[in-house]
Amino acid sequence: MTWKKFSGEIIQSSIHEEIEKSIIRETQNGFKLKVCIGTDSQVKGAITDFATVIVLLREHHGGFMYIHQEKSTQQVSIKERMLVEVQKSIEAAYSICDLLDVYDVALEVHADINTNPLFKSNKALNDAMGYIMSMGFIFKAKPEAFASSTCADKMVH
Residue 106: predicted pLDDT: 96
Q: Which of 65, 68, 7 is nearest to 34 (CA)?
A: 65
Measured distance CA(4)–CA(77) in Å, rounded: 29
**Which stretches in the chain have pLDDT values below 70?**
none
35-53 residues labelled b (16+ CB within 10 A) or e (exposed): bbbbbbbeeeeeebbbbbb
If you count DSSP H runs as helices and E runs as strands, how many of each does the chain have, helices first? 5, 6
Given CA atoms 90, 95, 96, 99 in this order, what sign does their dihedral have?
Answer: positive
- Which among 91, 29, 38 is positioned nearest to 67, based on CA atoms? 38
- The pTM of this model reads 0.93
Q: For the beta carbon of residue 79, count every other beta carbon within 10 angstroms.
A: 17
C-alpha–C-alpha distance, residues 130 and 155, integer Å: 26
Cβ(111)–Cβ(82) below 8 Å: yes
Per the structure, how many domains does the chain have?
A: 1
Return the pLDDT at 49. 97
Domain around 15: 4-156
Q: Please report the pLDDT score of residue 155 as a whole number.
A: 87
